[in-house]
């Protein structure tokens, strides 16, 4: 079975797992006067992450959802309005900030333009209302097929938001994929946002964990938010050690995932009943199955029967995600299965 449901399916290799045995552990939940915990491995990871993103401090979280929601709940209060994209993972899948049981926030919407960049005119129109307390971006953008916000767009967004005193948070779950595609260092992209979250457990290949980065004061407050959400940890160096290994060894290898995704897409350009994503940028490939006359779930069921495990996305499409452990032959075999399905429809 070729499993392309998500890059969260990466498995740690032995050298990564062995870092856990050598990790210096402590109680990350017991803070000193500077707000740092007692787990030296966590502290090292947070410092590495802050340096990579060009921020003052970092905060280890168990998931991207926790990192994003801790950020939003630190920037905002119940009743505040948060500006999000209409297909943003932070809203569509995570939901906490806007759930009446929890964050109790309101949302305003902006769209992406034809080049998959946030629509500046829509953002400005929303900011002009004076109601927006936080602007959220996503880079890469999951539900549009791993597309990237360019440095030029980020600068324009930052300058615009600054005029209206609106902070910017970036969900950078796959930030290093964006950096690689754009050929732009991570800290250069992150200079235009006030806080950023990225994941270790997707393409970087660690078993678990994400980090939230921002100013020292913001992270100190976010640490309190994380605690309120049940996210404080004890000997969390067992999470941090593989994440450090991922940062040291797995960033450049993301190009292999991009190449495998592109190779699969190249085999699918002349399909009859399925519309293939035209501009493949990173490790995600979207297929619009509406023209086929069957539902995304039915398409996925037929694919699985032939040996390809994929998942439906946003009612109209299915998603293929390439990651560490998926070979070039897997990518070509996946394409062959999709071609066979297209011929049968």
Q: What is the pLDDT of residue 82?
A: 98
Distance CA 132, CA 122 (A): 12
The half-sphere exposure of 337 on its side-chain side, counting CA atoms within 13 A, is 23
- In the 3-class helix/strand/coil scheme, how is 124-186 assigned residue by residue? HHHHCCCCEEEEEEECCEHHHCCECCCHHHHHHHHHHHHHCCCCEEEECCCHHHHHHHHCCCH
CATH class of domain segment(s) 12-249? alpha beta
Q: What is the pLDDT of residue 197?
A: 98
Tokens 């109790």, residue? Answer: 104
**Domain spans, the chain:** 12-249, 253-344
Distance CA 16, CA 26 (A): 20
CATH code for the domain defined by 253-344 = 3.90.1150.10
Give the tens place of pLDDT for each residue, 186-226. Answer: 999 999 999 999 999 999 999 999 999 999 999 999 999 99
Q: What is the pLDDT of residue 245?
A: 98
Query: b vs e for 31-51, b when ≥16 Cβ sit within 10 Å of the residue's Cβ?
Result: eeeeebbbbbbbbbbbebbbe
Distance CA 181, CA 188 (A): 14
Give the tens place of pLDDT for each residue, 24-46. Answer: 999 999 999 888 999 999 999 99
Given a cut of 50, the residues of the chain with pLDDT beneath it are none
């Amino acid at each position: 079975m070729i499993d392309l449901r998500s890059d969260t399916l990466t498995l740690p290799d032995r050298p990564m797992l062995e870092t856990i045995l050598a990790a210096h552990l402590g109680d990350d939940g017991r803070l000193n006067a500077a707000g740092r915990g007692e787990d030296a491995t966590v502290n090292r990871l947070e410092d590495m992450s802050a340096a990579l993103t060009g921020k003052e401090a970092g905060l280890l979280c168990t998931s991207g959802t926790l990192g994003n929601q801790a950020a939003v709940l630190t920037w905002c209060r119940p009743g505040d309005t948060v500006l999000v994209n209409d297909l943003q993972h932070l809203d569509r899948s995570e939901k906490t900030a806007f759930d009446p049981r929890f964050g109790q926030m309101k949302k305003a919407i902006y769209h992406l333009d034809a080049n998959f960049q946030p629509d500046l005119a829509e953002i400005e129109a929303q900011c002009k209302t004076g109601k927006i307390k936080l602007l959220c971006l996503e880079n890469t953008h999951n539900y549009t097929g791993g597309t990237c916000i360019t440095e030029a767009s980020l600068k324009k967004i930052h300058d615009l938001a600054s005029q209206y005193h609106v902070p910017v948070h970036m969900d950078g779950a796959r930030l290093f994929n964006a950096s690689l595609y754009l050929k732009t260092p991570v800290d250069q992209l992150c200079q235009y946002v006030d806080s950023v979250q990225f994941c270790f457990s997707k393409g970087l290949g660690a078993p678990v964990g994400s980090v939230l980065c921002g100013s020292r004061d913001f992270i100190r407050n976010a640490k309190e938010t994380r605690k309120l959400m049940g996210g404080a940890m004890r000997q969390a160096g067992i999470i941090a050690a593989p994440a450090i290994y991922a940062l040291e060894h797995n960033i450049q290898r993301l190009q292999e995932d991009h190449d495998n995704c592109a190779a699969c897409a190249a085999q699918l350009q002349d399909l009859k009943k399925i519309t293939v994503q035209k501009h493949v940028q990173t490790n995600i490939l979207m297929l619009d199955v509406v023209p086929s006359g069957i539902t995304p779930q039915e398409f996925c069921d037929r694919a699985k029967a032939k040996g390809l495990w994929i998942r439906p996305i946003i009612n109209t499409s299915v998603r293929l995600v390439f990651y560490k452990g998926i070979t070039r032959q897997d990518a070509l075999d996946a394409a062959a299965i999709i071609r066979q399905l297209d011929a049968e429809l």
